[in-house]
Amino acid sequence: MSLILPVIADRQHWDRPAVDVRRGTTPLHPLFAFECEGGAAHSVGIRKEGDRVSQPGTASAPGRTPAWRYAIGMLGTSIPINMIKGSMILFYVDILGLDVRAYGVVMVIYAVIDAFDNPLLGHLSDRTRTRFGRRRPWLLVGAPMLAACMIAFFSAPASLRGIGLVLWFAVFAILCEAFDSMLNANYGALLPELYPRERDRAVANGLRQGFQLVALVISLAVTPLLTTGVFGTEQSTQGFQITAIVYGAIALVVIVFMALGARERPRYSTRERPLLLPSVWSIVRNPTFWTVGLTGACYGIAMALVLSGIQLYVRYSLGLPVVNALYLQGIVILVSAGGLVVWTRVIARRGALWTWRLAFAVLAASFAALFFATDLATGIAAGVLVGAGWSGMLATNDLIVARVLDADAARNGEHREGLFLSAFGFFGRLNGIVTGLALTSLGVFFGYNSGDDPGTDPGLAFRVYLCVYPFVLTTIGAFAARLISVPIETPPEAAEPVEPPPEPPSGPVEESAVERPR
DSSP calls for 281-337: HHHHT-HHHHHHHHHHHHHHHHHHHHHHHHHHIIIIIS---GGGHHHHHHHHHHHHH
Report the alpha-carbon distance of residue 451 to residue 96 in Å, rounded: 8
- What are the counts of helices (DSSP H) followed by strands (DSSP E) for the chain? 17, 4
Cα(first)–Cα(last) distance of the chain, in Å? 9
Q: DSSP readout, 227-241? A: IIIIS--TT-SHHHH
Please state, in angstroms and rounded to a whole number, the distance separating the CA atoms of residues 202 and 445.
43
d(CA 263, CA 71): 13
Structural contact between residues 352 and 202, judged by C-beta atoms closer than 8 angstroms: yes
Report the distance separating Cα 241 and Cα 260, nearest Å. Answer: 29
- pLDDT, residue 472, reads 96
Residues with pLDDT less than 70, the chain = 1-63, 265-276, 412-422, 425, 428-429, 489-518
Query: What stretches of 95-229 show up as alpha helix (H) in DSSP?
Result: 100-127, 136-153, 163-194, 198-216, 223-225
pLDDT of residue 23: 37
* Geometric angle at alpha carbon 125, from 122 and 130, rounded to 5°: 175
DSSP label at 53?
Answer: E
Name the DSSP class of 502.
P
Q: What pLDDT score was predicted for residue 52? A: 36
Compute the distance between CA of residue 191 and CA of residue 74 in angstroms, rounded to an integer.
Answer: 11
In the three-class reduction of DSSP (H, G, I as helix; E, B as strand; rest coil), residue 42 is classed as: strand
Give the pLDDT score at 436. Answer: 80
The confidence score (pLDDT) of residue 308 equals: 83
319 dihedral zone (left: phi>0; alpha: psi -120 to 50; beta): left
In CATH, the architecture of 67-489 is: Up-down Bundle (1.20)
Contact assessment for residue 273 and residue 129, using Cβ atoms and an 8 Å cutoff: yes
Q: Which helix (H) or strand (E) is 35 found in, with range?
A: strand 33-35
Side chain identity, residue 479 = F
Contact 209, 397 (CB under 8 A): no
DSSP letters, 339-384, are HHHHHHHHHHHH-HHHHHHHHHHHHHHHHHHHHT--SHHHHHHHHH
What letter does residue 61 receive in the DSSP assignment? P
CA distance 58 to 269: 9
Confidence (pLDDT) at 498: 46
369-408 pLDDT tens trace:
999 999 999 999 999 999 999 999 988 988 888 888 778 7
Calculate the CA dihedral of residues 163, 169, 173, 174 and round it to 10 degrees: 20
Q: What is the pTM of this model?
A: 0.62
Judge residue 79's burial from the number of C-beta atoms within 10 Å of its C-beta, 0-12 exposed, 13-18 middle, 19 or more buried.
buried
Indicate the SS3 state at residue 430: helix
Domain residue spans in the chain?
A: 1-61, 67-489
Phi, psi for residue 81 in degrees, rounded to 5: -70, -30
Q: How far apart are CA 413 and CA 247, in angstroms?
A: 40
* Cα radius of gyration (the chain): 25
